[in-house]
């Protein structure tokens, strides 16, 4: 139920903001708006604002919306109202009305990011967990427990790192841009530092998913190797493990943090799914004891991994990231620009085959993330709304004839040549745009089903 409510609220808000952008600028340009609709299908709620001829409607299917304006191309217009029709407006007004929808989504994203920046958010400190074996981080000399104070493409561009999420975002940008990243790290906060270069440019990045960070080797913040809640009937309970136990070694191998312990547990199962017993050296109430733990095999995709039926790793150290009024707004603008540019870059790479179309997500994935973000709290949900708002704004600016960007393409042609696109070409381009858009939607829906099935 939470997933459905979060999804409907998200869609309704983002669509309403998008259409309001069109509506507000249309009214400002002197165009008569006949209907403002959020959703399609059967009207659920209809009303008129005092002093306005516009009919406001909320419909049953919240998968889109529209603003219907007076237009001679759609229906006859009385001569007395011809100056209020959309098609009679100057080029700059028509372009502004069309561009206002995507612009409204981008402005909403800026506002949402700014609200989070102003209110503050609790995020893990930028302390690194043990790197994945054979990863770029391990080869570069990282061992886990390092505090990252700065990051940049080189020594001259180093900037302070506020949190682990801040570092993760910069790593994502650098990897998808095929750029190396320099980290300034120390063994403790404020201690002597050294530079580490991660050669991200050598990665063959086709999907922005969890495997990307496995290749980089930075998958999570540092946590103590502590056993948390132990589930009844699990391997941990059968071995005698208790919540609060600190694991020091597994089969004689030192356990530096929770990440390393989870990796050892996962690797306990053979390629055919056979379980293998491990000897854990555990510290409990100041004493060392050795317990025999036999993780239970579980298949994930094509691989078998071990599970012990307990939460592994203490909560990471947290830091409150908060910014002032001006700085918070500026960072909201910067983040919106970064996400927009990264979205366009990934679309371009998919178009030329340098990135996988598996990166496309559809309504099922969006609904899934809506529910997950809402369950984590209001801040996570606001960040989700900001991300989807950017995506909606950027998507609508693509030069596809059925989207706002397609109409802006027509107006660019009109501005350059001095004549509008002919009706024949308009119809051809519209049909082509529908085919392309339907193909993209089909791929996105297929990816949704594949993700949920996996």
pLDDT higher than 90, residue 421: no
**pLDDT, average across residues 315-331:** 93
Residues 212 and 236 in one domain: no
Same domain, 296 and 270: yes
| 194 and 266 co-located in one domain | no
Residues with a known catalytic role: 19
* pLDDT reported for residue 438: 79
pLDDT at 129 (0 to 100): 92
Name the pTM for this structure: 0.85
Residues 111 and 155 in one domain: no
Cα–Cα distance measured from residue 15 to residue 34, given in angstroms and rounded to the nearest whole number: 18
Mean pLDDT, the chain, whole residue set: 88
DSSP bridge partners of 305: 298
Last residue of some domain: 315, 337, 353?
315
211 and 294 in a single domain? The answer is no
Domain shared by 287 and 369, yes or no: no
- Measured CA to CA, the distance from residue 351 to residue 344 in angstroms comes to 11
Residues 365 and 444 in one domain: yes
Task: Return the structure tokens found at 251.
Answer: 């089969």
**Rounded Cα gap, residues 274 and 296, in angstroms:** 9
Are 288 and 203 within one domain?
Answer: no
Give domain status of residue 128, yes or no: no
How many CB atoms lie under 10 A from the CB of residue 14?
21
Q: Which of 315, 342, 359 is the last residue of a domain?
A: 315
Structure confidence at residue 212 (pLDDT) = 80
pLDDT digits (tens, 9 = 90+) for 284-302: 999 999 999 999 998 877 7
- Report the alpha-carbon distance of residue 160 to residue 72 in Å, rounded: 56
Strands (DSSP E) contained in 125-230 are 147-152, 159-160, 181-186, 193-198, 227-230
Q: Three-state DSSP class for 123? A: strand
Tell whether 203 and 263 lie within a shared domain: no
Paired strand residues for 291: 280
DSSP string, 291-318: EEE-PEEEEETTEEEEE-SEEESPPPPE
Whether 96 and 209 share a structural domain? no
pLDDT one-digit tens code per residue, 381-418: 999 999 999 999 999 998 888 889 988 998 999 899 98
Predicted confidence band of residue 176 (pLDDT cuts 50, 70, 90): confident
What is the number of domains present in the chain? 3
pLDDT at 208: 59
Which of these ranges, 70-84, 97-111, 145-159, 207-221, has the smallest mean pLDDT? 207-221
In a domain, 126, yes or no: no
Same domain, 433 and 451: yes
The pLDDT of residue 264: 92
Percent of the chain with pLDDT over 70: 96
**pLDDT higher for 108 or 451?**
108
Range of 169's domain? 136-216
The lowest-confidence range among 91-105, 289-303, 330-344, 346-360 is: 346-360
Predicted pLDDT of residue 204: 76
Same domain? 406 vs 307: no
The pLDDT tens digits of the residues spanning 178-192 come to 899 999 999 877 678
């Amino acid at each position: 139920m939470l997933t459905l409510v979060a999804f409907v609220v998200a869609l309704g808000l983002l669509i309403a903001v998008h259409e309001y952008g069109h509506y507000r600028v249309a009214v400002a340009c002197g165009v008569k708006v006949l209907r403002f609709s959020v959703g399609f299908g059967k009207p659920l709620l209809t009303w008129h604002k005092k002093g306005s001829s516009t009919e406001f409607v909320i419909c049953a299917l919240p998968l889109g919306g529209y603003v219907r304006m007076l237009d001679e191309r759609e229906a006859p217009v009385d001569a007395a109202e011809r100056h209020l029709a959309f098609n009679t407006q100057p080029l700059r007004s028509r372009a502004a009305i069309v561009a206002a929808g995507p612009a409204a989504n981008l402005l909403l994203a800026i506002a949402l990011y700014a609200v989070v920046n102003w209110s503050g958010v609790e995020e893990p400190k930028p302390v690194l967990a043990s790197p994945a074996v054979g990863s770029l981080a391990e080869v570069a000399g990282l061992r886990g427990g390092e505090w990252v104070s700065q990051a940049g493409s080189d020594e001259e561009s180093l900037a302070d790192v506020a949190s682990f999420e801040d570092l993760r975002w910069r790593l994502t940008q650098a990897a998808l841009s095929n750029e190396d990243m320099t980290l300034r790290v120390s063994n403790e906060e404020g201690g002597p530092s050294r530079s580490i270069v991660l050669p991200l440019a050598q990665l063959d990045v086709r999907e922005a998913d969890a495997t990307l960070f496995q290749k980089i080797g930075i998958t999570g913040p540092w946590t103590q190797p502590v056993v948390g809640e132990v589930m009844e009937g699990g391997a941990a309970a059968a071995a005698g493990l208790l919540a609060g136990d600190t694991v020091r070694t597994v089969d004689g191998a030192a356990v530096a943090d929770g990440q390393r312990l989870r990796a050892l547990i996962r690797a306990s199962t053979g390629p055919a799914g056979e379980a293998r017993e491990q000897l854990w050296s555990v510290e409990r109430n100041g004493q060392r004891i050795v317990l025999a733990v036999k993780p239970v095999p579980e298949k994930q995709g094509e691989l078998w991994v071990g599970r012990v039926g307990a939460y592994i790793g203490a909560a990471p150290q947290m830091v409150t990231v908060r910014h002032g009024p001006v700085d918070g707004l500026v960072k909201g603008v910067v983040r919106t620009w970064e996400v927009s540019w990264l979205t366009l870059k990934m679309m371009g790479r998919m178009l030329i085959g340098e990135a996988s179309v598996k990166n496309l997500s559809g309504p099922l994935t969006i609904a899934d993330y809506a529910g997950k973000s809402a369950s984590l709290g209001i801040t996570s949900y606001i960040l989700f709304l900001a991300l989807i708002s950017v995506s909606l704004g950027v998507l609508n600016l693509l030069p596809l004839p059925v989207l706002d960007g397609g109409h802006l393409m027509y107006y660019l042609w009109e501005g350059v040549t001095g004549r509008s696109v002919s009706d024949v070409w308009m119809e051809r381009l519209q049909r082509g745009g529908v085919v392309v858009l339907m193909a993209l939607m089909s791929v996105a829906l297929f990816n949704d089903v594949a993700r949920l099935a996996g």
